[in-house]
Structure 1
Amino acid sequence: MQRAQKNEIIEKLRAKADRAGIAVVTDFRGMTVEELTELRVKLRAAGIDYQVVKNTLARLAVKGGEHDALKDHLKENNAVAFGYDDPVVAAKVLVEYAKTSKKFSVKLASLSGKIIDAPGVVELSKLPSKPELLAKTLGTMNAVPTNFVGLFANVIRGMLYALSAVKEKKEAA
């Protein structure tokens, strides 16, 4: 590979790493091309880039960026998955695939510059996704005024029943 090609790869990787909120390092040793293609299709559907790259080039690409902490951990066979919008989605897809494949494993991740080990990535994958958290938050925010209105409606309804009973008693008398 010529120097110009290497520089181009490094720049493309650096651009992906700078945009990514999470970078997950995986081990793909022993996987067939079909298995890797299947994984890439799943990741692409979730909006995640998956790159198999030489460790030296990957180290140069993440150096000085948000995922700089990864450079010391890039050894042996590695591929890096870059998640852009929701870090939980990237973790979920990779952990689910690791459960189905004996050859594929998640090594570690860099989430906003902090290293997370493999068990930490598994725990991250168990969290609800961003849309689920937003829905739960909005549901909670909506419940407070709804309960408040219901409470006052019951107070007013009770008062109306009492006034209605007094009216009926006076009419009967």
Structure 2
Amino acid sequence: MDRSQKAELVSALNATFESAALVVVTQQSGLTVTEVSGLRTQMRDAGASYKVTKNRLTRLALEGTKYKALESMFTGPTAIATSEDPVAAAKVCVEFAKKNEKLTIVGGAMGETILDPAGINALAKLPSLDELRGKLIGVLQAPATKVAGVVQAPAGKLARVFSAYGSQDEAA
């Protein structure tokens, strides 16, 4: 890799760090190409990305970003998972690490807040942004549904009373 390619990689990583809401640092030792490809596919489906990085170049890319404090985590065979959703990358990393012992979560950060592996696990248990939006819409629609049910109830009772009187007249 020549100097210009390294400079492009550092600027691309810097842009990734600037736009990410969450960065998860992992160590991967012994993962096969197939396993890494599967992990990348899962990340992409969740709206996140996974990239194996060179530690020295990643430390350079961290300069001037809110994730500068992650520098100490980049030792050994590392990779980063990033996402704009504050939960997506954590969920996929934790699920994959449970199934495959070769992937270890080192830590991460959400904005300027540094997270240890336990913090990443706790973050992975939270509902995603889309799930929260769905719950919020459900909460907002519930009162409207209840009001509609209350308004329709007297009309339904009235219809049943008329039906009962009609049944009595036919029986007599």
Name the TM-score, length of structure 2 as normaliser. Answer: 0.81
> Which residue identity lines up with residue 132 of structure 1 in the other structure?
E
> Which residue identity lines up with residue 10 of structure 1 in the other structure?
V
Secondary structure class of the residue paired with 1:5: helix
Equivalence for 2:105: 106
Structure 1, residues 90-131: CA drift from partner, whole Å, max 9, x if none? Answer: 111111111110111111111122111111111111111112
Cα distance in 2 for residues equivalent to 1:66 and 1:75: 19
Q: Percent identity?
A: 39
Structure 1, residues 22-57: CA drift from partner, whole Å, max 9, x if none? Answer: 111001012122221221222222232211111111
Cα distance in 2 for residues equivalent to 1:17 and 1:27: 18
Matched, 1:32 2:59: no
**Structure 2 counterparts to residues 145-156 of structure 1, below 5 A:** 145-148=144-147, 150=149
Structure 2: gaps of 5 or more residues: 159-172
Deviation at 1:70, TM superposition (A): 1.1
Cα distance in 2 for residues equivalent to 1:74 and 1:136: 37
Secondary structure class of the residue paired with 2:5: helix
Deviation at 1:153, TM superposition (A): 6.7
Bigger drift between 42-51 and 26-35 goes to 42-51
> Which residue identity lines up with residue 59 of structure 1 in the other structure?
R
Cα distance in 2 for residues equivalent to 1:141 and 1:45: 28
Cα distance in 2 for residues equivalent to 1:42 and 1:141: 32
Equivalence for 1:170: none
Secondary structure class of the residue paired with 1:87: coil
Name the TM-score, length of structure 1 as normaliser. Answer: 0.80
Deviation at 1:150, TM superposition (A): 4.9
**Count of residues in correspondence between the two structures:** 160
**Structure 2 counterparts to residues 1-150 of structure 1, below 5 A:** 1-84=1-84, 86-148=85-147, 150=149
Cα distance in 2 for residues equivalent to 1:63 and 1:55: 13
Structure 1: gaps of 5 or more residues: 161-173
